Amino acid sequence: MSFLGLVSEVAEQYDWKTDALCRLHPEVDWFDDFGKPTDDNIVAAKEVCAECPVQEECLDFALRNREAYNIWGGLTPRERRKLSRGKIKK
């Protein structure tokens, strides 16, 4: 694969982020100082995620990259670990 092909492929992997609703909600206090969501943060984030057009892409990204912190695709880190282990379904 050429360099430009590789750059194009990488860029496509991140295109979904421009459509993420979380970008439009700076008023939401998404996470505490350590990246660990509080109960209020979780509720607020999940409400936004539930309406997000790229929720599935976001969750897939988090699972592929083993994101250990924050809400991604509407799931907490614990929920994503359970999903990865097959203990819950999408």
Per-residue confidence (pLDDT) for residue 12, from 0 to 100 = 60
**Residue 28 domain-assigned (yes or no):** yes
Q: What is the pTM of this model?
A: 0.75
pLDDT tens figures, 4-30: 544 455 556 668 888 999 888 877 766
The tally of domains found in the chain comes to: 1
Its domain, for residue 57, covers: 19-84
User: For residue 54, how many C-alpha atoms fall within 13 Å in the half-sphere facing its CB?
Assistant: 16
**Residue 60 domain-assigned (yes or no):** yes
* Spacing of C-alpha 62 from chain mean position: 5
**Residue 14 domain-assigned (yes or no):** no
The first and second tokens of residue 35, run together, are 């990246």
**Residue 50 domain-assigned (yes or no):** yes
**Residue 8 domain-assigned (yes or no):** no
pLDDT tens figures, 45-89: 899 999 999 999 999 999 999 988 888 899 988 899 999 888 766
**Residue 12 domain-assigned (yes or no):** no
**Residue 2 domain-assigned (yes or no):** no
Helix axes 55-64, 39-51, angle to 10 degrees: 120
**Residue 75 domain-assigned (yes or no):** yes
Per-residue confidence (pLDDT) for residue 41, from 0 to 100 = 80
Q: Note the residue count of the chain.
A: 90
